[in-house]
Chains A and B, each alone.
Chain A
Amino acid sequence: MNELLRFENVSFHYDGGEREALFPLSVRLFEGEKIAVLGSNGAGKSTFFLLANGVLTPERGTIFLKGQPVGKKEKERLALRKSIGLVFQDPDVQLLAGTVEEEISFGPINLGLPEKEVRRRVEEALNSLHLTSYRNRGPQYLSGGEKRRVAIADILAMEPDMMLLDEPSSNLDPAGRALLETTLDTLHQKGITLVVATHDVDFAWRWADRILVFHQGELKKDGPPLEIFKDEPLLSHCGLELPLLWRVAQALSIPVFRSPEELSNYKIGRKIL
Protein backbone atom coordinates (compact mmCIF):
# COMPACT_ATOMS: atom_id res chain seq x y z
CA MET A 1 0.00 0.00 0.00
CA ASN A 2 1.24 3.47 -0.83
CA GLU A 3 1.53 5.99 1.94
CA LEU A 4 -0.62 9.08 1.36
CA LEU A 5 -0.20 11.15 4.46
CA ARG A 6 2.22 11.00 7.37
CA PHE A 7 2.26 13.09 10.57
CA GLU A 8 5.61 13.16 12.40
CA ASN A 9 5.49 14.56 15.93
CA VAL A 10 2.97 17.19 14.88
CA SER A 11 1.65 19.41 17.66
CA PHE A 12 -0.66 22.40 17.71
CA HIS A 13 -2.24 24.80 20.23
CA TYR A 14 -4.92 27.41 19.73
CA ASP A 15 -4.33 30.93 21.09
CA GLY A 16 -6.05 31.24 24.42
CA GLY A 17 -6.31 27.47 24.68
CA GLU A 18 -10.11 27.43 24.73
CA ARG A 19 -10.36 24.95 21.88
CA GLU A 20 -8.92 21.48 21.57
CA ALA A 21 -5.15 21.21 21.09
CA LEU A 22 -3.08 18.44 19.58
CA PHE A 23 -0.03 16.96 21.29
CA PRO A 24 2.84 15.28 19.42
CA LEU A 25 1.05 13.08 16.94
CA SER A 26 2.64 10.54 14.64
CA VAL A 27 0.48 8.55 12.29
CA ARG A 28 0.63 7.16 8.74
CA LEU A 29 -2.39 6.91 6.47
CA PHE A 30 -2.35 4.70 3.36
CA GLU A 31 -4.17 4.66 0.04
CA GLY A 32 -7.53 2.87 -0.03
CA GLU A 33 -8.08 2.72 3.72
CA LYS A 34 -11.43 3.22 5.49
CA ILE A 35 -10.55 4.88 8.76
CA ALA A 36 -12.85 5.90 11.61
CA VAL A 37 -11.62 8.51 14.08
CA LEU A 38 -13.25 8.06 17.49
CA GLY A 39 -13.10 10.37 20.48
CA SER A 40 -15.30 12.51 22.68
CA ASN A 41 -15.83 16.24 22.10
CA GLY A 42 -12.59 18.19 22.39
CA ALA A 43 -10.45 15.10 21.75
CA GLY A 44 -8.62 16.81 18.88
CA LYS A 45 -10.37 15.23 15.91
CA SER A 46 -11.27 18.51 14.21
CA THR A 47 -7.81 19.95 14.81
CA PHE A 48 -6.31 16.81 13.27
CA PHE A 49 -8.48 17.32 10.19
CA LEU A 50 -7.72 21.02 9.84
CA LEU A 51 -3.99 20.25 10.04
CA ALA A 52 -4.25 17.40 7.53
CA ASN A 53 -6.11 19.72 5.16
CA GLY A 54 -3.56 22.54 5.46
CA VAL A 55 -5.96 25.10 6.95
CA LEU A 56 -3.84 25.06 10.11
CA THR A 57 -0.05 24.73 10.08
CA PRO A 58 1.71 22.58 12.69
CA GLU A 59 3.52 24.34 15.53
CA ARG A 60 6.13 21.61 15.65
CA GLY A 61 6.72 18.50 13.61
CA THR A 62 6.19 17.83 9.92
CA ILE A 63 3.39 16.59 7.68
CA PHE A 64 4.40 14.49 4.68
CA LEU A 65 2.19 14.22 1.59
CA LYS A 66 3.08 11.14 -0.50
CA GLY A 67 6.51 11.12 1.11
CA GLN A 68 7.20 14.82 0.47
CA PRO A 69 7.40 17.17 3.48
CA VAL A 70 4.84 19.99 3.42
CA GLY A 71 6.31 23.35 4.39
CA LYS A 72 4.62 26.49 5.65
CA LYS A 73 4.49 28.22 2.27
CA GLU A 74 1.04 28.95 0.85
CA LYS A 75 1.84 26.96 -2.29
CA GLU A 76 2.73 23.83 -0.38
CA ARG A 77 -0.37 24.10 1.76
CA LEU A 78 -2.42 24.43 -1.43
CA ALA A 79 -0.96 21.13 -2.64
CA LEU A 80 -2.15 19.57 0.60
CA ARG A 81 -5.66 20.98 0.13
CA LYS A 82 -5.83 19.70 -3.44
CA SER A 83 -4.98 16.18 -2.41
CA ILE A 84 -6.81 15.99 0.93
CA GLY A 85 -10.43 17.21 0.91
CA LEU A 86 -12.27 18.19 4.09
CA VAL A 87 -16.05 18.04 4.58
CA PHE A 88 -16.98 20.28 7.52
CA GLN A 89 -19.27 19.21 10.30
CA ASP A 90 -21.76 22.02 9.69
CA PRO A 91 -22.67 22.20 5.98
CA ASP A 92 -23.92 25.77 6.42
CA VAL A 93 -20.36 26.86 7.13
CA GLN A 94 -19.26 25.41 3.83
CA LEU A 95 -22.10 26.33 1.47
CA LEU A 96 -21.48 29.58 -0.29
CA ALA A 97 -23.10 30.02 -3.68
CA GLY A 98 -26.59 30.78 -4.93
CA THR A 99 -27.28 27.43 -6.59
CA VAL A 100 -26.10 23.87 -5.98
CA GLU A 101 -24.34 23.76 -9.34
CA GLU A 102 -22.40 26.97 -8.69
CA GLU A 103 -21.63 25.77 -5.20
CA ILE A 104 -19.99 22.57 -6.43
CA SER A 105 -17.99 24.52 -9.03
CA PHE A 106 -16.26 26.69 -6.41
CA GLY A 107 -13.52 24.16 -5.60
CA PRO A 108 -12.66 23.08 -9.17
CA ILE A 109 -12.53 26.72 -10.30
CA ASN A 110 -10.14 27.51 -7.46
CA LEU A 111 -7.96 24.68 -8.74
CA GLY A 112 -7.57 26.75 -11.91
CA LEU A 113 -9.04 24.10 -14.23
CA PRO A 114 -10.39 24.96 -17.70
CA GLU A 115 -14.16 25.51 -17.90
CA LYS A 116 -14.82 22.26 -19.77
CA GLU A 117 -13.09 20.21 -17.08
CA VAL A 118 -14.93 22.13 -14.32
CA ARG A 119 -18.23 21.33 -16.02
CA ARG A 120 -17.34 17.63 -16.33
CA ARG A 121 -16.41 17.39 -12.65
CA VAL A 122 -19.53 19.22 -11.51
CA GLU A 123 -21.71 16.88 -13.61
CA GLU A 124 -19.95 13.82 -12.23
CA ALA A 125 -20.30 15.00 -8.62
CA LEU A 126 -23.99 15.81 -9.17
CA ASN A 127 -24.56 12.33 -10.60
CA SER A 128 -22.60 10.47 -7.93
CA LEU A 129 -24.59 12.07 -5.12
CA HIS A 130 -27.96 12.01 -6.91
CA LEU A 131 -28.22 15.78 -6.89
CA THR A 132 -29.00 16.40 -10.57
CA SER A 133 -32.58 17.46 -9.86
CA TYR A 134 -31.38 20.00 -7.29
CA ARG A 135 -28.87 21.76 -9.51
CA ASN A 136 -30.74 25.07 -9.75
CA ARG A 137 -31.98 25.14 -6.17
CA GLY A 138 -30.51 27.51 -3.59
CA PRO A 139 -28.46 25.53 -1.03
CA GLN A 140 -30.09 27.57 1.73
CA TYR A 141 -33.48 26.03 0.90
CA LEU A 142 -32.34 22.39 1.14
CA SER A 143 -32.91 19.96 4.02
CA GLY A 144 -30.14 18.83 6.38
CA GLY A 145 -29.39 15.60 4.52
CA GLU A 146 -29.42 17.31 1.13
CA LYS A 147 -27.08 20.02 2.39
CA ARG A 148 -24.71 17.31 3.60
CA ARG A 149 -24.72 15.66 0.19
CA VAL A 150 -23.98 18.99 -1.47
CA ALA A 151 -21.10 19.52 0.98
CA ILE A 152 -19.67 16.11 0.03
CA ALA A 153 -20.19 16.81 -3.69
CA ASP A 154 -18.25 20.08 -3.19
CA ILE A 155 -15.20 18.11 -2.18
CA LEU A 156 -15.75 15.19 -4.58
CA ALA A 157 -15.62 17.62 -7.52
CA MET A 158 -12.09 18.55 -6.48
CA GLU A 159 -11.17 14.85 -7.01
CA PRO A 160 -9.01 14.46 -3.91
CA ASP A 161 -6.98 11.34 -3.07
CA MET A 162 -8.34 11.37 0.45
CA MET A 163 -11.52 12.75 1.95
CA LEU A 164 -11.85 13.73 5.60
CA LEU A 165 -15.42 13.88 6.91
CA ASP A 166 -16.05 15.58 10.24
CA GLU A 167 -19.01 13.93 11.95
CA PRO A 168 -20.99 13.54 8.73
CA SER A 169 -23.92 11.80 10.41
CA SER A 170 -24.64 14.54 12.96
CA ASN A 171 -28.10 16.10 12.52
CA LEU A 172 -29.17 13.43 10.03
CA ASP A 173 -32.35 11.37 10.28
CA PRO A 174 -32.09 7.55 10.01
CA ALA A 175 -32.84 7.59 6.27
CA GLY A 176 -30.17 10.27 5.81
CA ARG A 177 -27.67 8.13 7.69
CA ALA A 178 -28.38 5.06 5.58
CA LEU A 179 -27.96 7.17 2.43
CA LEU A 180 -24.71 8.56 3.81
CA GLU A 181 -23.28 5.06 4.21
CA THR A 182 -24.16 4.22 0.61
CA THR A 183 -22.48 7.47 -0.41
CA LEU A 184 -19.35 6.53 1.52
CA ASP A 185 -19.26 3.17 -0.28
CA THR A 186 -19.56 4.93 -3.65
CA LEU A 187 -16.70 7.24 -2.75
CA HIS A 188 -14.55 4.32 -1.65
CA GLN A 189 -15.24 2.48 -4.90
CA LYS A 190 -13.98 5.54 -6.74
CA GLY A 191 -10.66 4.89 -5.01
CA ILE A 192 -10.86 7.69 -2.47
CA THR A 193 -9.30 7.05 0.91
CA LEU A 194 -11.85 7.91 3.59
CA VAL A 195 -11.30 9.20 7.10
CA VAL A 196 -14.49 9.75 9.12
CA ALA A 197 -14.65 11.38 12.54
CA THR A 198 -17.63 10.06 14.48
CA HIS A 199 -19.20 9.40 17.89
CA ASP A 200 -21.11 6.45 16.51
CA VAL A 201 -19.26 3.28 17.63
CA ASP A 202 -21.79 1.05 15.86
CA PHE A 203 -21.00 2.76 12.57
CA ALA A 204 -17.25 2.56 13.22
CA TRP A 205 -17.47 -1.17 13.96
CA ARG A 206 -19.62 -1.89 10.90
CA TRP A 207 -17.77 0.25 8.40
CA ALA A 208 -14.12 0.93 9.26
CA ASP A 209 -11.14 -1.28 8.64
CA ARG A 210 -8.95 0.83 10.91
CA ILE A 211 -9.78 2.99 13.93
CA LEU A 212 -7.88 5.89 15.51
CA VAL A 213 -8.88 6.73 19.09
CA PHE A 214 -8.18 10.29 20.24
CA HIS A 215 -8.42 11.52 23.80
CA GLN A 216 -7.57 15.02 25.05
CA GLY A 217 -5.42 15.79 22.04
CA GLU A 218 -3.50 12.51 22.00
CA LEU A 219 -3.72 9.50 19.76
CA LYS A 220 -4.40 6.76 22.32
CA LYS A 221 -4.70 3.78 20.04
CA ASP A 222 -4.47 2.94 16.36
CA GLY A 223 -5.54 -0.45 15.06
CA PRO A 224 -8.16 -2.66 13.45
CA PRO A 225 -11.66 -2.42 15.02
CA LEU A 226 -11.45 -5.83 16.67
CA GLU A 227 -8.35 -4.83 18.60
CA ILE A 228 -9.81 -1.45 19.62
CA PHE A 229 -13.07 -2.75 21.05
CA LYS A 230 -11.33 -5.62 22.88
CA ASP A 231 -9.45 -3.01 24.91
CA GLU A 232 -12.09 -2.22 27.51
CA PRO A 233 -9.87 -0.11 29.82
CA LEU A 234 -9.10 2.14 26.83
CA LEU A 235 -12.77 2.52 25.94
CA SER A 236 -13.81 3.50 29.45
CA HIS A 237 -10.82 5.87 29.76
CA CYS A 238 -11.76 7.65 26.53
CA GLY A 239 -15.49 7.74 27.27
CA LEU A 240 -16.42 5.38 24.43
CA GLU A 241 -19.14 2.74 24.48
CA LEU A 242 -19.05 -0.79 23.15
CA PRO A 243 -20.91 -1.31 19.87
CA LEU A 244 -24.38 -2.78 20.34
CA LEU A 245 -23.41 -5.98 18.47
CA TRP A 246 -20.54 -6.48 20.95
CA ARG A 247 -22.87 -6.19 23.89
CA VAL A 248 -25.31 -8.61 22.27
CA ALA A 249 -22.47 -11.06 21.63
CA GLN A 250 -21.27 -10.79 25.23
CA ALA A 251 -24.76 -11.31 26.60
CA LEU A 252 -25.37 -14.39 24.46
CA SER A 253 -21.75 -15.64 24.59
CA ILE A 254 -21.50 -15.91 20.81
CA PRO A 255 -18.84 -14.58 18.39
CA VAL A 256 -19.07 -10.87 17.38
CA PHE A 257 -20.46 -10.02 13.95
CA ARG A 258 -19.90 -7.05 11.72
CA SER A 259 -23.60 -6.50 10.89
CA PRO A 260 -27.05 -7.44 12.23
CA GLU A 261 -27.61 -9.46 9.02
CA GLU A 262 -24.66 -11.71 9.82
CA LEU A 263 -26.03 -12.16 13.31
CA SER A 264 -29.47 -13.22 12.10
CA ASN A 265 -27.94 -15.66 9.62
CA TYR A 266 -26.01 -17.19 12.49
CA LYS A 267 -29.16 -17.39 14.59
CA ILE A 268 -31.02 -19.22 11.85
CA GLY A 269 -28.09 -21.61 11.34
CA ARG A 270 -27.57 -22.53 14.98
CA LYS A 271 -31.04 -21.94 16.43
CA ILE A 272 -29.51 -20.55 19.60
CA LEU A 273 -32.67 -19.05 20.99
Chain B
Amino acid sequence: MITALLTGAVLWSLLVQTLPPILLGAVTAAGAAVAFFFRRHHSHGPVAIDSLARRSLLCEENAFWKTGVSVLLLILSTASPTPLPPLLLFGFLSAVTVLAGKIPLKKYFSLLWLPAAFLLLSTLTLLWDFYRVLPENEVLSLPFFGGWLSVTKASQSLGRLVLARALGAVSCLYFLSLSTPLPELFWVLRRVHVPEVVLDLCMLIYRYLFILLATAHDMRDSAASRLGYATLLKSFRTTGLVYGRLLANSFRRAGHCFDAMESRCYTGKIAFLTQRKPLTGKVICLLSIPLAGMTFGMFLT
Protein backbone atom coordinates (compact mmCIF):
# COMPACT_ATOMS: atom_id res chain seq x y z
CA MET B 1 0.00 0.00 0.00
CA ILE B 2 2.76 2.42 0.97
CA THR B 3 4.70 1.58 -2.19
CA ALA B 4 1.60 2.24 -4.26
CA LEU B 5 1.12 5.70 -2.68
CA LEU B 6 4.83 6.42 -3.06
CA THR B 7 4.78 5.37 -6.72
CA GLY B 8 1.76 7.59 -7.33
CA ALA B 9 3.37 10.60 -5.62
CA VAL B 10 6.64 10.19 -7.52
CA LEU B 11 4.96 9.77 -10.91
CA TRP B 12 2.70 12.78 -10.29
CA SER B 13 5.53 15.10 -9.31
CA LEU B 14 7.77 13.82 -12.10
CA LEU B 15 5.27 14.43 -14.87
CA VAL B 16 3.08 17.29 -13.61
CA GLN B 17 2.71 20.08 -16.21
CA THR B 18 4.42 17.99 -18.89
CA LEU B 19 1.33 15.92 -19.67
CA PRO B 20 -2.33 16.95 -20.01
CA PRO B 21 -4.16 16.50 -16.65
CA ILE B 22 -6.23 13.47 -17.75
CA LEU B 23 -3.21 11.59 -19.05
CA LEU B 24 -1.25 12.54 -15.91
CA GLY B 25 -4.01 11.14 -13.70
CA ALA B 26 -4.16 7.96 -15.76
CA VAL B 27 -0.37 7.38 -15.66
CA THR B 28 -0.26 8.02 -11.90
CA ALA B 29 -3.16 5.69 -11.20
CA ALA B 30 -1.72 2.98 -13.47
CA GLY B 31 1.69 3.19 -11.73
CA ALA B 32 0.12 2.98 -8.31
CA ALA B 33 -2.06 0.06 -9.39
CA VAL B 34 0.92 -1.89 -10.76
CA ALA B 35 2.85 -1.25 -7.54
CA PHE B 36 -0.13 -2.40 -5.50
CA PHE B 37 -0.80 -5.50 -7.57
CA PHE B 38 2.82 -6.69 -7.46
CA ARG B 39 3.37 -5.82 -3.83
CA ARG B 40 5.91 -7.78 -1.90
CA HIS B 41 5.42 -11.38 -0.94
CA HIS B 42 6.98 -12.70 2.18
CA SER B 43 9.66 -15.36 2.53
CA HIS B 44 12.09 -13.78 0.12
CA GLY B 45 15.78 -13.68 0.57
CA PRO B 46 19.08 -14.70 -0.96
CA VAL B 47 17.79 -18.27 -1.18
CA ALA B 48 14.82 -17.27 -3.35
CA ILE B 49 17.00 -15.44 -5.87
CA ASP B 50 19.45 -18.32 -6.06
CA SER B 51 16.81 -20.98 -6.61
CA LEU B 52 15.08 -18.83 -9.25
CA ALA B 53 18.40 -18.42 -11.06
CA ARG B 54 18.85 -22.19 -11.16
CA ARG B 55 15.40 -22.67 -12.63
CA SER B 56 15.83 -19.96 -15.27
CA LEU B 57 16.13 -21.20 -18.84
CA LEU B 58 18.95 -18.69 -19.30
CA CYS B 59 20.95 -20.58 -16.67
CA GLU B 60 22.21 -22.87 -19.43
CA GLU B 61 23.91 -19.98 -21.25
CA ASN B 62 27.54 -19.02 -21.04
CA ALA B 63 28.12 -17.16 -17.76
CA PHE B 64 31.13 -15.21 -19.00
CA TRP B 65 29.18 -13.59 -21.80
CA LYS B 66 26.17 -12.84 -19.59
CA THR B 67 28.33 -11.22 -16.93
CA GLY B 68 30.41 -9.24 -19.40
CA VAL B 69 27.42 -7.81 -21.23
CA SER B 70 25.55 -7.06 -18.01
CA VAL B 71 28.47 -5.06 -16.67
CA LEU B 72 28.81 -3.15 -19.96
CA LEU B 73 25.09 -2.39 -20.01
CA LEU B 74 25.28 -1.30 -16.39
CA ILE B 75 28.00 1.22 -17.23
CA LEU B 76 26.18 2.46 -20.34
CA SER B 77 22.94 2.76 -18.41
CA THR B 78 24.39 4.84 -15.57
CA ALA B 79 26.27 7.04 -18.04
CA SER B 80 23.33 7.63 -20.36
CA PRO B 81 22.73 11.37 -21.02
CA THR B 82 18.98 10.96 -21.63
CA PRO B 83 16.31 9.07 -19.66
CA LEU B 84 14.75 7.17 -22.56
CA PRO B 85 17.47 4.55 -23.39
CA PRO B 86 17.78 3.25 -19.79
CA LEU B 87 13.99 3.03 -19.55
CA LEU B 88 13.86 1.01 -22.77
CA LEU B 89 16.70 -1.14 -21.42
CA PHE B 90 14.70 -1.77 -18.26
CA GLY B 91 11.73 -2.90 -20.32
CA PHE B 92 13.84 -5.05 -22.62
CA LEU B 93 15.90 -6.81 -19.97
CA SER B 94 12.84 -7.39 -17.78
CA ALA B 95 11.15 -8.99 -20.79
CA VAL B 96 14.22 -11.14 -21.45
CA THR B 97 14.38 -12.25 -17.80
CA VAL B 98 10.69 -13.02 -17.60
CA LEU B 99 9.96 -14.37 -21.11
CA ALA B 100 13.22 -15.97 -22.20
CA GLY B 101 14.20 -17.08 -18.69
CA LYS B 102 10.65 -18.09 -17.69
CA ILE B 103 10.85 -16.37 -14.31
CA PRO B 104 7.25 -15.81 -13.09
CA LEU B 105 6.25 -12.17 -13.68
CA LYS B 106 4.82 -11.83 -10.20
CA LYS B 107 8.04 -13.09 -8.60
CA TYR B 108 10.09 -10.71 -10.72
CA PHE B 109 8.08 -7.66 -9.72
CA SER B 110 7.89 -8.58 -6.08
CA LEU B 111 11.69 -8.95 -6.05
CA LEU B 112 11.86 -5.43 -7.50
CA TRP B 113 10.06 -4.15 -4.43
CA LEU B 114 13.18 -3.67 -2.32
CA PRO B 115 15.22 -1.57 -4.78
CA ALA B 116 12.00 0.20 -5.85
CA ALA B 117 11.35 1.47 -2.33
CA PHE B 118 14.86 2.94 -2.18
CA LEU B 119 14.57 4.39 -5.64
CA LEU B 120 11.21 6.05 -5.08
CA LEU B 121 12.27 7.59 -1.78
CA SER B 122 15.46 9.02 -3.25
CA THR B 123 13.65 10.36 -6.31
CA LEU B 124 11.15 12.07 -4.02
CA THR B 125 13.92 13.85 -2.14
CA LEU B 126 15.53 14.85 -5.44
CA LEU B 127 12.28 16.33 -6.71
CA TRP B 128 11.10 18.28 -3.71
CA ASP B 129 13.25 20.97 -2.22
CA PHE B 130 12.76 23.77 0.31
CA TYR B 131 12.93 27.37 -0.89
CA ARG B 132 12.53 30.61 1.15
CA VAL B 133 10.91 32.37 -1.79
CA LEU B 134 8.91 30.78 -4.58
CA PRO B 135 11.51 29.67 -7.18
CA GLU B 136 11.32 30.36 -10.89
CA ASN B 137 10.15 27.55 -13.15
CA GLU B 138 8.28 25.90 -10.31
CA VAL B 139 5.62 23.42 -11.39
CA LEU B 140 4.21 22.32 -8.06
CA SER B 141 4.51 24.15 -4.72
CA LEU B 142 3.25 23.75 -1.19
CA PRO B 143 3.54 26.45 1.50
CA PHE B 144 5.75 25.13 4.27
CA PHE B 145 6.72 26.96 7.51
CA GLY B 146 7.00 30.37 5.90
CA GLY B 147 8.76 29.08 2.76
CA TRP B 148 7.91 26.75 -0.09
CA LEU B 149 8.36 23.06 -0.82
CA SER B 150 8.58 23.04 -4.59
CA VAL B 151 9.25 20.92 -7.63
CA THR B 152 11.01 22.83 -10.40
CA LYS B 153 11.45 22.05 -14.07
CA ALA B 154 15.16 21.40 -13.45
CA SER B 155 14.57 19.00 -10.56
CA GLN B 156 11.94 17.21 -12.64
CA SER B 157 14.35 16.50 -15.47
CA LEU B 158 17.08 15.51 -13.02
CA GLY B 159 14.65 13.19 -11.23
CA ARG B 160 13.60 11.58 -14.49
CA LEU B 161 17.21 11.00 -15.53
CA VAL B 162 18.29 9.54 -12.17
CA LEU B 163 15.23 7.31 -11.89
CA ALA B 164 15.68 6.02 -15.46
CA ARG B 165 19.40 5.33 -15.00
CA ALA B 166 18.81 3.53 -11.73
CA LEU B 167 15.99 1.41 -13.18
CA GLY B 168 18.19 0.45 -16.12
CA ALA B 169 21.01 -0.50 -13.76
CA VAL B 170 18.71 -2.54 -11.53
CA SER B 171 17.39 -4.45 -14.53
CA CYS B 172 20.99 -5.33 -15.56
CA LEU B 173 21.76 -6.70 -12.12
CA TYR B 174 18.48 -8.58 -11.93
CA PHE B 175 19.02 -10.06 -15.36
CA LEU B 176 22.41 -11.35 -14.20
CA SER B 177 21.39 -12.58 -10.77
CA LEU B 178 18.20 -14.25 -12.01
CA SER B 179 19.97 -16.14 -14.76
CA THR B 180 23.34 -17.00 -13.21
CA PRO B 181 23.73 -18.98 -9.96
CA LEU B 182 26.42 -17.57 -7.67
CA PRO B 183 28.94 -20.41 -8.11
CA GLU B 184 29.07 -19.64 -11.84
CA LEU B 185 29.65 -15.98 -11.08
CA PHE B 186 32.61 -17.03 -8.92
CA TRP B 187 33.93 -19.01 -11.86
CA VAL B 188 33.75 -15.89 -14.05
CA LEU B 189 35.56 -13.87 -11.39
CA ARG B 190 38.24 -16.56 -11.25
CA ARG B 191 38.74 -16.24 -14.99
CA VAL B 192 39.30 -12.51 -14.68
CA HIS B 193 41.96 -13.22 -12.05
CA VAL B 194 40.30 -12.13 -8.85
CA PRO B 195 42.58 -13.51 -6.07
CA GLU B 196 41.92 -17.17 -5.19
CA VAL B 197 41.65 -16.46 -1.48
CA VAL B 198 38.78 -14.05 -2.00
CA LEU B 199 36.91 -16.52 -4.21
CA ASP B 200 37.47 -19.47 -1.85
CA LEU B 201 36.03 -17.35 0.94
CA CYS B 202 33.06 -16.38 -1.25
CA MET B 203 32.44 -20.02 -2.09
CA LEU B 204 32.49 -21.09 1.56
CA ILE B 205 30.32 -18.19 2.68
CA TYR B 206 27.81 -18.98 -0.06
CA ARG B 207 27.63 -22.63 0.96
CA TYR B 208 27.42 -22.05 4.70
CA LEU B 209 24.91 -19.25 4.40
CA PHE B 210 22.34 -21.94 3.61
CA ILE B 211 23.33 -24.03 6.61
CA LEU B 212 23.37 -20.99 8.89
CA LEU B 213 19.95 -19.81 7.70
CA ALA B 214 18.46 -23.28 8.13
CA THR B 215 19.95 -23.63 11.63
CA ALA B 216 18.75 -20.17 12.67
CA HIS B 217 15.30 -20.95 11.30
CA ASP B 218 15.06 -24.24 13.20
CA MET B 219 16.28 -22.66 16.43
CA ARG B 220 13.80 -19.80 16.11
CA ASP B 221 10.95 -22.22 15.47
CA SER B 222 11.81 -24.39 18.43
CA ALA B 223 12.12 -21.31 20.67
CA ALA B 224 8.76 -20.07 19.42
CA SER B 225 7.14 -23.45 20.14
CA ARG B 226 8.23 -23.04 23.76
CA LEU B 227 6.61 -19.55 23.89
CA GLY B 228 9.97 -17.81 23.69
CA TYR B 229 8.45 -14.87 21.87
CA ALA B 230 5.31 -14.50 24.00
CA THR B 231 6.04 -10.98 25.21
CA LEU B 232 8.31 -8.24 23.93
CA LEU B 233 10.74 -8.63 26.81
CA LYS B 234 10.87 -12.41 26.40
CA SER B 235 11.41 -12.11 22.67
CA PHE B 236 14.43 -9.83 23.23
CA ARG B 237 15.87 -12.40 25.62
CA THR B 238 15.15 -15.33 23.28
CA THR B 239 16.62 -13.55 20.27
CA GLY B 240 19.82 -12.97 22.23
CA LEU B 241 19.99 -16.60 23.29
CA VAL B 242 19.31 -17.90 19.79
CA TYR B 243 22.01 -15.78 18.19
CA GLY B 244 24.50 -16.59 20.95
CA ARG B 245 23.91 -20.30 20.46
CA LEU B 246 24.06 -19.86 16.71
CA LEU B 247 27.61 -18.53 17.04
CA ALA B 248 28.68 -21.48 19.19
CA ASN B 249 27.01 -23.94 16.81
CA SER B 250 28.63 -22.30 13.82
CA PHE B 251 32.09 -22.59 15.33
CA ARG B 252 31.60 -26.27 16.08
CA ARG B 253 30.20 -26.84 12.65
CA ALA B 254 33.10 -25.03 11.01
CA GLY B 255 35.47 -27.46 12.73
CA HIS B 256 33.59 -30.47 11.38
CA CYS B 257 33.46 -28.98 7.90
CA PHE B 258 37.20 -28.43 7.87
CA ASP B 259 37.72 -32.06 8.90
CA ALA B 260 35.50 -33.16 6.03
CA MET B 261 37.48 -31.09 3.54
CA GLU B 262 40.80 -32.38 4.85
CA SER B 263 39.53 -35.92 4.56
CA ARG B 264 39.10 -35.32 0.84
CA CYS B 265 42.73 -34.33 0.43
CA TYR B 266 42.14 -30.56 0.69
CA THR B 267 45.51 -28.83 0.72
CA GLY B 268 44.55 -25.19 0.58
CA LYS B 269 42.94 -24.71 -2.80
CA ILE B 270 39.25 -25.11 -3.53
CA ALA B 271 38.66 -26.12 -7.13
CA PHE B 272 35.78 -27.80 -8.91
CA LEU B 273 35.14 -29.18 -12.33
CA THR B 274 33.24 -26.56 -14.28
CA GLN B 275 30.64 -27.46 -16.81
CA ARG B 276 31.35 -25.93 -20.18
CA LYS B 277 28.44 -23.81 -21.33
CA PRO B 278 28.94 -22.81 -24.95
CA LEU B 279 27.94 -19.43 -26.28
CA THR B 280 24.69 -19.83 -28.21
CA GLY B 281 23.27 -17.68 -30.99
CA LYS B 282 20.14 -17.02 -28.97
CA VAL B 283 21.85 -15.25 -26.12
CA ILE B 284 24.22 -13.38 -28.46
CA CYS B 285 21.21 -11.96 -30.30
CA LEU B 286 19.28 -11.23 -27.11
CA LEU B 287 22.12 -9.24 -25.59
CA SER B 288 23.50 -7.58 -28.75
CA ILE B 289 20.27 -5.66 -29.26
CA PRO B 290 20.37 -3.71 -25.96
CA LEU B 291 24.14 -3.29 -26.28
CA ALA B 292 23.78 -1.64 -29.70
CA GLY B 293 20.80 0.40 -28.54
CA MET B 294 22.52 1.70 -25.45
CA THR B 295 25.69 2.59 -27.36
CA PHE B 296 23.56 4.52 -29.83
CA GLY B 297 21.74 6.16 -26.91
CA MET B 298 25.05 7.61 -25.66
CA PHE B 299 25.07 9.99 -28.63
CA LEU B 300 21.53 11.30 -28.10
CA THR B 301 21.07 14.66 -26.48
Contact = CB atoms under 8 A, between A and B. Distances in A.
Interface stretch (B129-137, B228-236, B269-277): B269-277
A36 interface: no
Interface residues of B, number: 32
Contact of B263 (A81, A95, A101, A115): A81
A158 interface: yes
A70 to B, nearest CB: 14
Interface in A67-97: 74, 78, 81-82, 85-86, 88, 90, 92-97
B206 interface: yes
Q: Which one of B267, B272, B274 has the highest number of Cβ atoms from chain A below 10 Å of its Cβ? A: B272
A86 B266 CA distance: 13
Contacts of A107: 264-265
Interface stretch (B2-10, B106-114, B179-187): B179-187
Contacts of A110: 264-267, 269, 271
Given A94-B260, A97-B207, A102 B267 contact: no
Given A93-B256, A102-B274, A55 B263 contact: yes
A111 B285 CA distance: 41
B207 A96 contact: yes
Contacts of B262: 55, 81
B211 A115 contact: no
Task: Name A's interface SS.
Answer: helix
Nearest to A104: B273
Given A81-B263, A102-B183, A90 B273 contact: no
B271 A109 contact: yes
B54 interface: yes
A138 B54 contact: yes
B181 A138 contact: yes
Given A101-B275, A102-B274, A90 B183 contact: no
A102 B273 contact: yes
Given A94-B264, A118-B273, 7 more contacts: A98-B181, A99-B275, A102-B273, A110-B265, A111-B265, A115-B273, A122-B273
Interface of A: 50, 53-55, 74, 78, 81-82, 85-86, 88, 90, 92-99, 101-103, 105-111, 115, 118-119, 122, 136-138, 140-141, 154-155, 158
